[in-house]
Amino acid sequence: MSEKKINSLLHTFCTVCISLTLSFFLNTEQVVAAETLTNHLGCQANQWELWEHYKKQFLQEDGRIIDYATPIEHSTSEGQSYGMMFSLIHNDPENFQRIWNWTLANLFDNDLNNNLPAWQWGKKADNTWGVVDFNSASDADLWFAYALLEAGRIWKNKTYTTQGLQMINLIEKREFIDLPGFGKMISTGYIKKASLNKTKWSLNPSYYPLPLLRRIAAERNNLQWDEIVANVPRVIREGSPKKFPADWIYYKLNDGDIPEFYFDQTRGQKSSFDAIRVYLWAGVTHPDDPLRKDILLSISGIINAITIKGYVPEKIDAFTGEIINNAYSPFGFSAAVAPYFYAIGRKETAQSQVSRANWMIKKSQSPENANTNRLRYYDYSLSLFGLGFTEGFYRFNLNGFLETSWMHNNCAKFNVTYQ
């Protein structure tokens, strides 16, 4: 018998043994997840070094993801929700559960029926550790809901599905807003002491990834979510007057009830660390989505801006189109825009950004950069999404459902298109 055939038989035997052993000791939902994991044994070649590094650098044993670049070494709802997504994309149910357990206990105060997650947890002024800001951030809330729904579907875990629906209920109750003269939208977060007599509303164009909204809209099957989905391109377009998406924009009614989108002095009008995700979410949206083309065109100023030095400027004035800082650009920015450039057919530019990101990642992990590498939580998060897409680890289908390479029978990765 050939060595190849022997190895194949041993793999099959080990898979069956592991599955039977786990089935004996675990409950039904855990068994399903365990069987999914054993099916992934043949995908070990697809294990991604970047995800392994991320876990080692930023994920604590208890499930807390830390951003060491902040003075209070905080954890955020954004980071926790991203960590759950990365765990799902790479079929890592153990870390998914660990991250979710920490989040539920510390950001939700173990009450998913009544509490949206606090967006920030870290070292407080009195040197104790806990919630620093109890307000929510709606982008993270959407990612939590999505990750839980998809984990429930893919790993056949009814508890996750139920918890995902609880999250959606809270989003609808606490974060849905009706902008007069515009329509329904999702606020940037639930502020517990917010005035009920609002005259202006803040919006963040990077908070509305179309695949997530499509998936939740399919789950809810109601006109409210459909209206929000339809309004996303306009929010991005209004926040990109010079075709660079702004980090933040505001909406108000002027005299005579005339609606207006505008920039506020408190947050300025820059396109930078928030807005970089607008390119990312547009790039990973399914090519047949009827709203994608409008969004891609709305933020096309980057096509010329990137040619100046070969990378995305760190800061751009979204109102004037003027480049504010082009001396440096983080590797996460290159990773984030790569799917965008593939989406608009600029393959060479996309590949150059992938190469730049990978080169800078490798450099950041060298021994002499050990102290600064741990400060790059956000860069690694953007890279896991952006390069995870270009490397073919995941895709979103037209209705926003997640597809991953490990779900394929032969564990084949996707190519840079949706095949």
Beta strands in 141-287 (DSSP E): 176-179, 183-186, 200-203, 249-254, 258-262, 270-271
Query: Is there a single domain that holds both residue 223 and residue 80?
Result: yes
Query: Is there a single domain that holds both residue 41 and residue 3?
Result: yes
Query: Is there a single domain that holds both residue 275 and residue 187?
Result: yes
Q: How sure is the predictor about 295, in pLDDT bands with cuts at 50, 70 and 90?
A: very high
Q: Is 380 helix (H, G, I), strand (E, B) or coil?
A: helix
Q: What is the pTM of this model?
A: 0.90
pLDDT of 351 over the 70 cut:
yes
For residue 4, what pLDDT is reported? 44
Give the list of residues 6+ apart from residue 291 with CB closer than 8 angstroms, or none: 210, 229, 230, 232, 233, 285
Query: Is there a single domain that holds both residue 127 and residue 16?
Result: no
For residue 200, what pLDDT is reported? 87
For residue 416, what pLDDT is reported? 81
Contact in structure between 78 and 142 (CB atoms under 8 Å): no
Residue with tokens 């860069």: 379
Is 111 catalytic? The answer is no
Of the ranges 137-151, 173-187, 245-259, 345-359, which one carries the lowest mean pLDDT score? 245-259
For residue 41, what pLDDT is reported? 52
Contact in structure between 252 and 260 (CB atoms under 8 Å): yes
Across-strand partners of 316? 271, 323
75-128, pLDDT tens digit by residue? 999 999 999 999 999 999 999 999 999 999 999 999 999 999 999 999 999 999
Residue type for position 361: I
Q: Which of 12, 30, 46 is the last residue of a domain?
A: 46
Regarding predicted confidence, which is higher, 100 or 27?
A: 100
C-alpha R_g of the chain? 22
DSSP letter assigned to residue 156: T
Regarding predicted confidence, which is higher, 272 or 39?
A: 272
Query: Is there a single domain that holds both residue 27 and residue 168?
Result: no
Q: Which of 78, 92, 150, 274 is catalytic?
A: 78
Q: How sure is the predictor about 419, in pLDDT bands with cuts at 50, 70 and 90?
A: low
Query: Is there a single domain that holds both residue 119 and residue 66?
Result: yes
Give the list of residues 6+ apart from residue 23 with CB closer than 8 angstroms, or none: 31, 34, 35
- d(CA 119, CA 137) in angstroms, rounded, equals 6
Q: Tell me, letter by letter, the H, E, C secondary structure of 13-60.
A: HHHHHHHHHHHHHCCHHHHHHHHHHHHHHHHHHHCCHHHHHHHHHHEC
- d(CA 15, CA 37) in angstroms, rounded, equals 10
Beta strands in 52-94 (DSSP E): 75-76
Domain containing 253 — which CATH number?
1.50.10.10
In a domain, 416, yes or no: no
pLDDT of 193 over the 90 cut:
no
Give the list of residues 6+ apart from residue 11 with CB closer than 8 angstroms, or none: 41, 42
* CA neighbor of 377 nearest in space, from 12, 133, 60, 89: 60
pLDDT of 183 over the 90 cut:
yes
**Number of domains composing the chain:** 2
Across-strand partners of 404? 394
Structural domain of 285: 49-407
Query: Is there a single domain that holds both residue 206 and residue 115?
Result: yes
- The H or E element that residue 143 is part of is helix 138-154
Query: Is there a single domain that holds both residue 36 and residue 115?
Result: no
For residue 26, what pLDDT is reported? 40
Residue type for position 219: E
DSSP letter assigned to residue 369: G
pLDDT of 5 over the 60 cut:
no
Query: Is there a single domain that holds both residue 205 and residue 249?
Result: yes
Residue 118, number of CB atoms within 10 A of its CB: 21
361-383, pLDDT tens digit by residue? 999 999 999 889 989 999 999 99
Residue 303, number of CB atoms within 10 A of its CB: 14
Find the mean pLDDT for residues 16-25. 40
Regarding predicted confidence, which is higher, 338 or 45?
A: 338
- The H or E element that residue 9 is part of is helix 3-25
Query: Is there a single domain that holds both residue 195 and residue 231?
Result: yes
Across-strand partners of 177? 185
DSSP string, 202-221: EE-GGG--HHHHHHHHHHH-
In a domain, 249, yes or no: yes
Of the ranges 187-196, 226-235, 409-418, which one carries the lowest mean pLDDT score? 187-196
In a domain, 255, yes or no: yes
pLDDT of 14 over the 50 cut:
no
* CA neighbor of 91 nearest in space, from 141, 127, 144, 46: 46
Q: How sure is the predictor about 255, in pLDDT bands with cuts at 50, 70 and 90?
A: confident
For residue 253, what pLDDT is reported? 87
pLDDT of 27 over the 70 cut:
no
Q: Which of 67, 92, 139, 274 is catalytic?
A: 139
Query: Is there a single domain that holds both residue 397 and residue 310?
Result: yes
Across-strand partners of 268? 264
- d(CA 223, CA 226) in angstroms, rounded, equals 5
Contact in structure between 131 and 383 (CB atoms under 8 Å): no
pLDDT of 35 over the 70 cut:
no
Q: How sure is the predictor about 256, in pLDDT bands with cuts at 50, 70 and 90?
A: confident
Is 175 catalytic? The answer is no
In a domain, 13, yes or no: yes
Cα separation of the two ends of the chain = 36
Find the mean pLDDT for residues 40-44. 59
Q: How sure is the predictor about 191, in pLDDT bands with cuts at 50, 70 and 90?
A: confident
Find the mean pLDDT for residues 142-166. 98
For residue 192, what pLDDT is reported? 67
- d(CA 79, CA 409) in angstroms, rounded, equals 31
Query: Is there a single domain that holds both residue 99 and residue 26?
Result: no
pLDDT of 50 over the 80 cut:
yes
In a domain, 419, yes or no: no
